[in-house]
Amino acid sequence: MSKLFRIALIHATPVAIEPILDAFRATWPEAEPINILDESLALDRAKAAEISNQLIERIVSLTEYGVSTGSTAVLFTCSAFGPAIEYAASKVEVPVLKPNEAMFEAAIARGGKTAMLYTFAPAKESMEQEFREEARKLGAAAEIISFFVPGAIDAVRVGDVATHNRLIAEAATCLSGFEAVTLAQFSMARALSDVQAATTIPVLSSPEQAVAKLRGLIGS
């Protein structure tokens, strides 16, 4: 049976690939996700205080390439390029999703304060900005407070998933007074069950929420 919907997944790191493919397999097997990987994006973003015009142009080019494959939507899986992805979305005719927009929508719907655990430091500022913009768009009084988990992304990059998951779960045990905990990077979805076991606060991850939103947009 042929797949009904091709989705271009644009990655800046290979550690984001497995979690989003797992989410598609589990919740939308009729879709056909394809992987487009450019590791230089994460390397160059980590060196820059802001997203350069050159990086924006590269995001646009990758988006247009994703559309050229016949994809009915494009999903970015790296959380450090929010404004560039928004700009790229205006250049094409198919839906283009930022990595965390669906997760943020779900968190904002819960109201109150949201905790964001993150492992890739350059992503913090743009992601907080995205959250606040989404809250304003929805007319919601929501607040986000971010917590960096040092060493976690380094561990998963060398294949030490156990350490990655443990560090994130330990960070979650310190949280209180929040309506939701969000796992910022796609690569963090590996730790979802460990984090859920470490806290009584509802935990949201980007891959599952992104797939659900895509399915709602184009899967009917």
Q: What is the pLDDT of residue 208?
A: 95
**71 and 118 belong to one structural domain:** no
C-alpha to C-alpha distance for 32 and 79, rounded to whole angstroms: 22
Predicted pLDDT at 5: 92
By DSSP bridging, strand 5-11 and strand 73-76 are parallel
The count of C-alpha atoms lying within 13 angstroms of the C-alpha of 71, restricted to the half-sphere facing its C-beta, is: 26
Same domain, 201 and 106: yes
Domain check: are 112 and 195 in the same one?
Answer: yes
> Which token pair is 186?
């796609």
* Residues 120, 152 share a domain: yes
For the chain, what is the mean pLDDT? Answer: 93
Query: Are 31 and 87 in a shared domain?
Result: yes
**Residue ranges in the chain modelled with pLDDT below 50:** 1
Question: What is the spatial distance between Cα 62 and Cα 88, in angstroms, rounded to a whole number?
Answer: 9
Q: Do 79 and 169 sit in the same domain of this protein?
A: no
CA distance 114 to 166: 21
Backbone angles phi, psi at 37, to 5 degrees: -115, 130
Residue 185, phi-psi category: left (phi > 0), alpha (psi -120 to 50), beta (remainder): beta
Report the CATH number at residue 52: 3.40.50.1860
Report d(CA 211, CA 26) in Å as an integer.
10
Domain of 107, in residue numbers:
101-206
Number of domains in the chain: 2
Q: Do both 43 and 95 map to the same domain?
A: yes
Give me the pLDDT at residue 83, please. Answer: 87
* Same domain? 147 vs 87: no
In this structure, the answer to whether residues 23 and 46 fall within a common structural domain is yes
